[in-house]
Every structure is written in structure tokens, then in C-alpha cells.
């Protein structure tokens, strides 16, 4: 499951606006990558696996493991989980699964891979991510801030978009303090 759903965002901030769903879903992949970079924490669960037989298909939005270990008792990956890939050639990062079978993970619509099928294949590690519940309100406030910046860009094209400048988001300290590690305990 992604860090924050559109419904959670609206519930936390007391907003009722169906038009926000698509915007929030579109923003979430970039935001999850930024938050793990900013906090230097990927929130790894104990579930993980390593494999050297993985193929990434950009068109199908799938990750295929020839060993078929995605549903093993030790791994137990599932639909709607967030996961972190490490050790790939082109696809290290945070993703959300739409479906999971023993051999294939399919990404949620707003996430994507770059084709990757190398021989020999690198050893790739997949970690399940458990996002801290206490982080959700601060994340909702950061997204609200970004949505306000995006509206300002549309209204005044000379202003810089909140997503520009190498992820140098300019959040107020009151938002960033809610993302601090002390707030996650």
C-alpha cells in the first residue's frame, strides 16, 4: 500500500474533493522516494528476498522472478504492499504492488519500471516496507503544501513548481518536524 491514499489524505485534513484522488495517486511515487531519501530510512519490514533471476518489464509494469519465491512463507509478499528494490541496474527505489503471484509482481498504475534483463542478472533484494502510521498526518500536510504550490504555478507560470530543483522541496519547518524520526516512535 502506498504511504498515503487519497481517502486518508482527505480524512486527515477534513477535505472532501473527489478531484484530488488522481493528483495524489500521481504524486505518491515521487513523494515516497523523496521521504525515504530525506529521512534516510526505508522502513524495511522483516520480509525480504534476494534473487539473481529477476526481469523488469516496463510495458507490462512487472517484475518477474524465475525462482517463484514471492509468495513463500518467509517472503509472503502480497497485493497493495509497498516495497523497496535494491541492487538493480536501473530500478532501485520504492514501489507499490497491485498484484502478486509466485513469479510476478505487477505495479500499481502510478509506478513504473525501466526494462532490465541482464545476463548475468545482478542479485536484487526486495524489502517489504511498513510505513509508520504516525507519519501520515505530516505527509498529508506536505502534500497539501505541494498542491498549493502547484495551483500557484498554474496561476502564475513564472513561479517554480514544488517538484523542481532536484527534489529540493521547500517545506515549512512545521511540516518537516512532523516527518522527523522522533515523530515516528
Residue 94 binned pLDDT confidence (cut-offs 50, 70, 90): very high
Q: Are residues 146 and 109 in the same domain?
A: no
Q: Is the separation of the CB atoms in 116 and 91 below 8 Å?
A: yes
More confident residue, 119 or 32: 32
Residue 53 binned pLDDT confidence (cut-offs 50, 70, 90): confident
pLDDT of residue 150: 57
**CATH number of the structural domain spanning residue 51:** 2.40.30
Q: Which region, left, alpha or beta, applies to residue 54 given φ > 0 means left and ψ of -120 to 50 means alpha?
A: beta
- C-alpha span between 161 and 31 (Å, rounded): 14
Q: Are residues 93 and 65 in the same domain?
A: yes
Q: Are residues 113 and 94 in the same domain?
A: yes
Q: What is the domain count for the chain? A: 2
Q: Is the separation of the CB atoms in 122 and 110 below 8 Å?
A: no
pLDDT of residue 182: 42
More confident residue, 160 or 119: 119
Domain with 101 in it: 44-129
Residue 85 binned pLDDT confidence (cut-offs 50, 70, 90): very high
Record the pTM: 0.81
Q: Is the separation of the CB atoms in 74 and 158 below 8 Å?
A: no
Provide the strand spans (E) within 11-148. 44-51, 54-57, 62-65, 82-86, 93-100, 104-107, 124-129
pLDDT of residue 72: 85
Is 1 part of any domain?
Answer: no
Amino acid at each position: 500500500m502506498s504511504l498515503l491514499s487519497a481517502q486518508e489524505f482527505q480524512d486527515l485534513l477534513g477535505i472532501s474533493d473527489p478531484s484530488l484522488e488522481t493528483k495524489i495517486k500521481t504524486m505518491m511515487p515521487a513523494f515516497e522516494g523523496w521521504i525515504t531519501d530525506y529521512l534516510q530510512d526505508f522502513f524495511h519490514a522483516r520480509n525480504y528476498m534476494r534473487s539473481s533471476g529477476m526481469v523488469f518489464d516496463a510495458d507490462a509494469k512487472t517484475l518477474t522472478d524465475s525462482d517463484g519465491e514471492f509468495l513463500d512463507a518467509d517472503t509472503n509478499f502480497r497485493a497493495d504492499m509497498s516495497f523497496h528494490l535494491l541492487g538493480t541496474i536501473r530500478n532501485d527505489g520504492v514501489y507499490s504492488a497491485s498484484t502478486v503471484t509466485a513469479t510476478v509482481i505487477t505495479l500499481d498504475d502510478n509506478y513504473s519500471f525501466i526494462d532490465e534483463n541482464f545476463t548475468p542478472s545482478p542479485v536484487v533484494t526486495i524489502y517489504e516496507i511498513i510505513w509508520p502510521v504516525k507519519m501520515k498526518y505530516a505527509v498529508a500536510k506536505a502534500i497539501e503544501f505541494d498542491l498549493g504550490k502547484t495551483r500557484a504555478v498554474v496561476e502564475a507560470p513564472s513561479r517554480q513548481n514544488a517538484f523542481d530543483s532536484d527534489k529540493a522541496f521547500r517545506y515549512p519547518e512545521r511540516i518537516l518536524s512532523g516527518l522527523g524520526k522522533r515523530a515516528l516512535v
